[in-house]
Amino acid sequence: MMSIKVYNTLSRQKELFQPIEESKVKMYVCGPTVYNYIHIGNARPAIIFDMVRRYLEFRGYDVTYVSNFTDVDDKLIKAAKELGEDVPTIAERFIKAYFDDVAALGVRCADVHPRVTETMVEIIDFIKGLVDKGFAYEVNGDVYFSTRKFKGYGKLSQQSIDDLQSGARIEVEQQKVDPLDFVLWKAAKPGEISWASPWGEGRPGWHIECSAMVKKYLGDTIDIHAGGQDLSFPHHENEIAQSEAMTGKPMANYWLHNGYINIDNEKMSKSLGNFILVHDIIKKYEPEIIRFFMLMAHYRSPINFSDELLNSAKSSFDRLKTAVRNLQYRLEESANLGENENDWIGKINVEKEKFIKEMDDDFNSANAIATLFDLAKKANLYLREDHSSKKVLEYFLKTFEELSGVLGFDLSSAKELLDEEIDKLIEQRNEARKNKDFALADKIRDDLKNMNIILEDTPQGVRWKRE
């Protein structure tokens, strides 16, 4: 347990992971604002930190995982006006859609999914506490956090408050004492959804909800706070200011942030119209391929999203599935033979240890996936031996299941699809030869050979058999 290292955004370096309470981890991940279907930028942190949670559990930790829904804010109010519906109806619809989309991507539900509308008492009490401590002030029904009164402001983004001041926008609310002050409570406008508070009818600002939820469900200080890189400033910076001003304690010991997603080498942006909804993309690609693609890069690295790269990821994932299918097929006809069993089990364990070493190094799923391919190569070598042992085959399959499960994949369910996929590949090869694309035809033949499938040209057409 003591060998895991994580990159902490707060310190800008890898640190040995040491939870507050031995063998237990308290983890909070910022969730979506539910005014529309989520896009792949939202999907990346959902997949990444689901993987982190799974790995921590694999290493023996008891993880309490909390991820919120922002179910009331400016975007929801705008959507409600445009659609002629109320905010709760829209939020409920897209919360359900979120669960459907991320479940397809293999993301497990959090232990708690708090909503802003269900945490209003705690949010108001939190703001009252900040006002009482002199860290917040009220103007005309709005409440603001007094940023300069929190001495550590800027430590997560490593910016000085004077630099932030010089870069502040000119078009700030005139009633704020300082341009850097941010809103904790917004006075309601006519017709808006609102709640009663000591400052009048209104609703929370964006940042305060997470501070209140973390405190309610996980305590004053948690082990891991995570989210997309775009949240590090100002959202997470403001969370730190609020929470630490209130409690006098660190909000989180480790801050983890995943990298951005580009679309065809351009930054994903709604203004550019190049954002992709998960609701749409999972109709075009198998969801497990999207998850696999996301984990083929280190979580802190930016990734480029394109059809070409997704198709390449599918080909790679199919190689792993085929290795598992071939093991399953051989298992059905194998006897218990003791020859070389311990040697092969030792070779499997070497790959398992490599997998753990890579994941211990800041959850490096990219290198961990590489060890799965090394395991597949060993499986293919074993299947070429004259004799096979059920014990070894079962251990290969168990190891694939265990390690792929850590990453959230299911490699064991596709055995019945093997014949169908081989026939499809042969059709593609025939079409390539017809079009005189001999390079593609040869590649397909080589790919099939690597899967232990041999093609035979007969007068009746191409046939195949397992080697």
Beta bridge partners of 227: 257
CB contact set of 323 (below 8 Å; sequence gap of 6+): 375, 376, 379, 380, 400, 451
The Cα angle at residue 262 between residues 260 and 266, in degrees rounded to 5? 130
Evaluate whether 270 touches 190 at the Cβ level (below 8 Å).
no
Distance CA 157, CA 141 (A): 30
- Is 30 annotated as contributing to ligand binding? yes
Phi, psi of 113 (to 5 degrees): -120, 80
By the 8 A CB rule, do 130 and 246 touch?
yes
The DSSP-derived string for 86-125 is -HHHHHHHHHHHHHHHHHHTTPPPPSB--BGGGSHHHHHH
Of 131, 220, 233, the closest CA to residue 184 belongs to 131
Is residue 109 part of an annotated ligand binding site? no
- Does 270 show up as a binding residue in the annotation? yes
In whole angstroms, what separates CA 462 from the centre of its chain?
43
Integer CA distances (angstroms), 304 to 252, 309, 334, in order: 30, 8, 44
Alpha helices, DSSP H only, in 332-437? 341-360, 365-383, 390-407, 418-434
Residues making up the annotated binding site for ATP are 270
Residues making up the annotated binding site are 30, 210, 235, 239, 270
Residues making up the annotated binding site for Zn(2+) are 30, 210, 235, 239
